[in-house]
Amino acid sequence: MASRLPDILTIDWPKNATSPTPAAQLALKRAVQLVRSGGLVALPTETVYGLATDALDSESVDRIFQAKGRPATNPLIVHVADKEMAKTLAADWPDTADAIASHFWPGPATIVVPKKKIVPDNVTAGGSTVALRCPDHRIMQWIINQSGYPLAAPSANRSESLSPTCASHVLESLRHRVDLILDGGQCVHGIESTVIDCTATPFHILRPGPIDREHLESILGETVTVNAQSIDMHQTQTRSPGLHARHYAPKTPLEL
Ligand code: AMP
Ligand code: MG
């Protein structure tokens, strides 16, 4: 982990251009090199800024937990370029997973499926399932495609603090614990992805997000439950540790 503050590189990528400007491409290249050598890069997605590294390298993944101060019991979402990359990590790819990916990817839908051995145990907090998502953001997609790796990328903030929706939030929260920050402007959604457990029926929403239950049901043609309401807290914590009662803890005092 570096001891000095990270560079913040602005990614200038005009809306209608298929590729970023040459200067931005240099910045992206640096990010790819860092990810390939086990570094931590903060970058925008359509939900919030993520703290990304090679998901298939357990030492790199360990660095994410250290930088965030995240408990080892809280698994990470793995970001993929497309369905094909997702299938290289999934021991089983149920029809539901396929339907959700076909309809909502790229987008804020995270799919939980049984994991293959190549996914390191620390990514899944020792569990047998892995959470997969294909983000709808050109910068994140570029880094995944150019590095060739699926990327573990939880929100780029210290654990239990608010998720960052711009580059300056990342710097305030992580400081020297991140190697490089790519500034791609404000995130579109500003809240984390919907997490859907596809390993059991009825399908459960483990974490509510931008895609709601009604929308999922209309696409799947099946009942979808929201786990936090349908099962006891002990089980919820086991199935999706990010739903711990204390998870997002703003520090600003509130007066009613
Ligand atoms: P974050 O990356 O901080 O946005 O949080 C990731 C969310 O996905 C947390 O709520 C995790 O508990 C949840 N998650 C990640 N992997 C799994 C998994 N294999 N099974 C269930 N929930 C998961
Ligand atoms: Mg988070």
Contact 206, 226 (CB under 8 A): no
pLDDT at 232 (0 to 100): 36
**Percent of all residues in the chain with a pLDDT value above 90, rounded to a whole number:** 85
Q: Is 239 in the pocket of ligand 1 (CB under 6 A)?
A: yes
Nearest CA to 7 out of 180, 200, 183, 131 is that of 180
Contact 25, 33 (CB under 8 A): no
Ligand 1 atom with the shortest distance to the CA of 153? 2
- pLDDT tens string 11-38: 999 889 999 999 999 999 999 999 999 9
Ligand 1 atom with the shortest distance to the CA of 154? 2
What residue has token string 């953001």?
137
Find how far residue 155's CA is from the centre of its chain. Answer: 7
Spacing, Cα 14 to ligand 2 middle (Å): 29
**The one-letter amino acid at 95:** D
* pLDDT category of residue 248 using cuts at 50, 70 and 90: low
- pLDDT tens string 207-244: 999 999 999 999 999 999 997 543 333 343 345 555 55
Q: Report the largest interatomic distance among the alpha carbons of the chain, rounded to a whole angstrom.
A: 53
**Percent of all residues in the chain with a pLDDT value above 70, rounded to a whole number:** 89
Strand, coil or helix: what is 207?
strand
Spacing, Cα 126 to ligand 1 middle (Å): 12
Mean pLDDT of 144-166: 96
* 134 secondary structure, DSSP code: -
- Strand runs labelled E in the chain: 7-10, 41-44, 49-54, 77-79, 109-114, 129-133, 151-152, 180-183, 194-197, 203-207, 224-226
Which ligand is located closest to the Cα atom of residue 209? Answer: 1
pLDDT at 242 (0 to 100): 55
pLDDT at 229 (0 to 100): 40
pLDDT at 162 (0 to 100): 92
pLDDT at 255 (0 to 100): 72
pLDDT at 244 (0 to 100): 54
Q: Is the pLDDT of residue 91 over 70?
A: yes
Q: Is the pLDDT of residue 246 over 70?
A: no
Spacing, Cα 193 to ligand 1 middle (Å): 10
* pLDDT category of residue 3 using cuts at 50, 70 and 90: confident
- pLDDT tens string 39-74: 999 999 999 999 999 999 999 999 999 999 999 999
**To which H or E segment does residue 204 belong?**
strand 203-207
Q: Quick check: bond before 202 cis, omega within 30?
A: yes
Mean confidence (pLDDT) of the chain: 91
